[in-house]
Amino acid sequence: MVTAADITERVVLVGVVRSQADVDEGMESLDELAQLATTAGAETVDRVIQARPAPDPATYVGKGKAREIVEKARQLRATAIVFDDELAPAQGRNLEDVAGVNPLAPDALKIIDRTGLILDVFAQHAHSAEGKLQVELAQINYMVPRLRGWGEVMSRIGGSRGGGGAAGPSLGTRGPGETKLEIDRRRIARRLRKLKDELKQVERTRTVKNRQRQRVGAPQISLVGYTNAGKSTLLNAFTGAGVLVEDKLFSTLDPVSRKLELPDGRAAVLTDTVGFVRKLPHQLVEAFKSTLEQTVHADLLLHVVDASQPDPRDHIQAVDQVLMQIGAGDVPRILAMNQVDRLDPETRRRLEGQFPDARFISATKGEGLDELLEAVAGRLAASQTIAEYVVPFDRGDVHSQLHELGEVQEEVAGEGGWRLMVKGPRSVLGRFGEFVAPFNPPGGRLDGTAEPGAGDDAERPEEAGQPQEDQPADGAG
Ligand SMILES: Nc1nc2c(ncn2[C@@H]2O[C@H](COP(=O)(O)OP(=O)(O)OP(=O)(O)O)[C@@H](O)[C@H]2O)c(=O)[nH]1
Ligand SMILES: [Mg+2]
């Protein structure tokens, strides 16, 4: 844990906006960057915003401006300059040259970018074996194109300052493993392969565990949202999970699942997972894909928003983008505008107008939580799907599981086995994909009478009868 005493880094933040009119927005983005810096244990000593139509391809801010910023940073005794974007490797190198970074000047100003900083925060907050492996994988993928060819000692990750200091690893150099420094490309490549193998192993174990958990047959709900929106607070409020809640970015990296009792007496599984941020580094999205994909397989997403942000739409958009990236764009979702206790009545009315379908809640004060649960139960009931199965007579296990997990609406014993029409959550029925009846007999119903009982609560008719396959069999489990 980083405490105030550990703060050794003093950073200057730099952002580029297109025009003078965008300066406010740029400042907001720098506020967030400052929060990331604080979370990583650094103190922000100055902020610079530059308006230019496009970032400079060579130095991001332009060479003259770069010199100016370096000068200012030196005067302020800053230890690093942090850019509010991912710098191209060449931009990073050029800026390092301006800042005088070289192997013989270990105390030179460091050049860090938004991605590097986020990776640093993730590295600090990764606790599980899987989380650590994922962060290291992302860090290596980030580092490889940025290695500088000046000898074996040089690598951006772990270029430790001074050596022998008591403060421990410094900003932008932290990693879950100790293997970051002084490794040449061959060793990096070897490490990458090993990491991927280990990750696969961990994922396999997790898949097995998941299957066991899902066997309970409860519908799956995932909390998603911008980092620091209050996802973990809501999980705690709903389930008494006792998960760590902090006014810090990316407190949660490892998914936590708890049983959620719904007002209609049924149970669901609620999962809290990693939060999102604007410009979430693609290396992280890649590395965390398997974790994030768990949200893809949910029956319902509960999108938690910090409504007290100046413009919650930005955050909502950033979250939507990541959801699209990981293929969860069309999972049904409920928008929960959280932290309403921090809104003045006027802002609240405006937001209610802007987001008519959202639920307005306060996870800390307990406001609106009962109504939110009602909405969750309603949506889950509505997003049930119906599928028809043919189960061979020698698969009594599957037959009884379908009875246990779904609501069997019709059943006949016929040629080839039992034919069953089953209603249930998509995530549950999807696991029996291999037993789905090859085609629906004309007339729909098993007994040859009229249409299936559409119109009750089948929300999306196209879903009926074709539950999605669970993850493609990868030979695991
Ligand atoms: N005033 C107020 N504060 C809240 C509310 N919900 C959460 N918070 C605070 O917001 C901060 C972040 O809450 P978390 O639950 O850790 O947020 P998170 O979405 O899990 O964040 P990460 O795991 O870091 O991505 C904490 O300081 C909470 O106490 C709320 O309804 N009202
Ligand atoms: Mg959290």
Work out the average pLDDT over 57-84.
96
Q: Quote the pLDDT of residue 175.
A: 52
Q: Quote the pLDDT of residue 145.
A: 85
Work out the average pLDDT over 445-459.
42
pLDDT above 90 (res 61): yes
pTM, full prediction: 0.75
pLDDT confidence of 156, banded at 50, 70, 90? very low
Which domains, ranges and CATH numbers included, belong to the chain? 1-191 (3.40.50.11060), 216-382 (3.40.50.300), 385-463 (3.30.70)
Nearest C-alpha neighbor of 122 from the set 237, 291, 261: 291
Decide: 232 in ligand 1 pocket, CB within 6 A: yes
Distance 212 CA to ligand 2 centre (A): 25
Question: d(Cα 36, Cα 114) in Å, to the nearest integer?
Answer: 9
Measured from the Cα of 248, ligand 1's closest atom is: 24
pLDDT above 50 (res 457): no
Distance 233 CA to ligand 1 centre (A): 6
Q: In this predicted model, what pLDDT tens digit does every residue of 191-213 receive, in sequence order?
A: 889 988 888 888 777 766 665 55
Round the average pLDDT of the chain to a whole number and report it. 81
Measured from the Cα of 363, ligand 1's closest atom is: 31
pLDDT confidence of 416, banded at 50, 70, 90? confident
Decide: 148 in ligand 1 pocket, CB within 6 A: no
Handedness of CA 425, 426, 430, 436 (dihedral sign): positive
Q: Quote the pLDDT of residue 440.
A: 53
Q: Quote the pLDDT of residue 293.
A: 78
pLDDT above 50 (res 405): yes
Residue 200, Ramachandran bin (φ over 0: left; ψ between -120 and 50: alpha; else beta): alpha
Which residue do the tokens 């609406």 mark? Answer: 409
Q: Which position has the higher pLDDT, 160 or 230?
A: 230
Q: Quote the pLDDT of residue 390.
A: 93
Q: Quote the pLDDT of residue 256.
A: 87
Q: In this predicted model, what pLDDT tens digit does every residue of 334-358 receive, in sequence order?
A: 999 999 999 999 999 999 999 999 9
Find all residues with CB under 8 Å of 64, minimum gap 6, and list them. none
Residue with CA at minimum distance from ligand 1 atom 13:
230
pLDDT above 70 (res 455): no
Asked if 335 and 313 touch (Cβ cutoff 8 Å), the reply is: no
Distance 374 CA to ligand 2 centre (A): 23
Determine the residue of 38, 233, 234 to mutate for testing ligand 1's pocket, defined as the one with the most ligand atoms within 8 A of the Cβ atom: 233
Distance 135 CA to ligand 2 centre (A): 17
457-462's contacts with Cβ under 8 Å and 24+ in sequence apart are 457/381, 457/382, 457/384, 458/384, 458/385, 458/386, 459/332, 459/382, 459/383, 460/383
Question: d(Cα 2, Cα 40) in Å, to the nearest integer?
Answer: 8
